[in-house]
A = this chain, B = another copy of it.
Amino acid sequence: MTAPERFLAACKRMPVDRTPVWMMRQAGRYLPEYRAVRSRVDFLTLCRSPDLASEVSLQPIERFGMDACVIFSDIMMAVEAMGAPVSFGDGGPHIDEPVRSMAAAERLRVTDPETSLSYTMEALRITREALRDRAALVGFVGGPFTLASYLVEGGGSRSYATIKTMLYTQSAVAHALLAKLAEFCALYAVAQVRAGAQAVQVFDTWAGELSPAAYEEFALPYQTKVVGAIREAGVPAIIFVNGCAGKLDLLAQSNADVVSVDWRLDLRNARERLGPGVAVQGNVDPCILLSSPLVVSAAAREAMDAAGPVGHVLNLGHGILPPTPIECARAFVEAPKLSGLPV
């Protein structure tokens, strides 16, 4: 099987010759060749430069040969394309004017992503052309709740107290904001498919911080809209929620083809609760890749054993960490290629 065939078969729970593998944030700071590019341009410039974004997207494929190539970008680029300026510092994304009123939510614009995010479309086209069949091209969008959390909090948060207070005291504003974000993310995801993405992952990273009741009201309906658009565009939808263990039944209701599972639960447990209709992705703790190749290989093999051979995409439980040694990243990508061999 070619890498795209293998990856797409796993997403659709079809037989594969071996488990496909990639790593969230695989185009990133742990790679010296990525740091070399970043020494010349800042993060936002890199996101906005199709040639450079394509170059760093391809770097891990050239070095390690993953089965999927995720396009280099940031979930917050969508927010910027809707008219909310974003800056990036050491503390992650920062929103200069947080969205905390109906008027502010109404000022966000559902633009045409072909224009407002043309650089990402171009990066996808260049990358797909360069990849040929070496890896499946994966696009991504932020989940509406997660984007809303940054917009309302003004950046990252530990407690999500500001957005949650909005959910519980100004639910009409929250729903208006979430609906607009979902509308744009659906358009953006479909545009990525037209530009060559062979699957799209929805990163609703912080929706795991909600109670199940709040998730059902404020995350699930908007995820379902984005997932539906991706599937209608003809490619698999992958959904990722960090800390998803208490909401697997709700995650399955999003109709995603693949649920990307964090490392805080066992994939056997996830399988049981998700049921047979959903593929799983994950779920090695990124911190394990700070240890040694031997420990990494064992953890990757354990994830493959837990998930079983059908409908599993080997991945981390969250993005790869910048201090990860190259040889540990390599051991992770190699693990499924060695899985037929004795341990």
Contact B247 A165 (CB under 8 A): no
Q: Which of B164, B264, B323 contacts A287 (CB 8 A)?
A: B164
Contact B214 A164 (CB under 8 A): no
Q: How many residues of A contact B (CB 8 A)?
A: 35
Q: Which of B160, B302, B323 contacts A161 (CB 8 A)?
A: B323
Contacts of A295 in B (CB 8 A): 168-169
Contacts of A243 in B (CB 8 A): 243, 245, 264
**Is A210 an interface position by the 8 A CB rule?**
yes
Q: Which of B160, B211, B245 contacts A246 (CB 8 A)?
A: B245
**Is A87 an interface position by the 8 A CB rule?**
no
Contact B323 A264 (CB under 8 A): no
Interface mask (A280-304 → B, CB under 8 Å = 1, otherwise 0):
0000011110111001000000100
Q: Which of B247, B263, B292 contacts A265 (CB 8 A)?
A: B247
Contact B266 A212 (CB under 8 A): yes
- How many chain copies does the complex carry? 2
Instruction: Give the residues from 124 to 181 in chain A that come closer than 8 angstroms, CB to CB, to chain B.
Output: 159-161, 164-165, 168-169
Contact B245 A291 (CB under 8 A): no
Question: Chain A: interface secondary structure?
Answer: helix
**Is A45 an interface position by the 8 A CB rule?**
no
Contacts of A266 in B (CB 8 A): 212-213, 246
Contact A265 B161 (CB under 8 A): no
Instruction: Give the residues from 290 to 336 in chain A that come closer than 8 angstroms, CB to CB, to chain B.
Output: 290-292, 295, 302, 317, 321, 323
Contacts of A160 in B (CB 8 A): 287
Complex Cα spacing A288 to B160, Å: 11
Contact B168 A290 (CB under 8 A): yes
Complex Cα spacing A159 to B287, Å: 8
Beyond A161-B321, A164-B287, A208-B264: 17 further Cβ-contacts under 8 Å? A159-B286, A164-B290, A165-B287, A165-B290, A165-B291, A168-B288, A168-B291, A169-B292, A169-B295, A211-B285, A212-B269, A213-B302, A243-B264, A245-B246, A245-B264, A246-B269, A247-B265
- A-B interface, 5 closest residue pairs, ranked by CB to CB distance from nearest: A246-B265, A245-B246, A245-B245, A168-B291, A164-B287
Can you give 7 A-B contacts (C-beta < 8 A)?
A: A168-B292, A169-B292, A169-B295, A211-B263, A213-B266, A243-B264, A246-B269
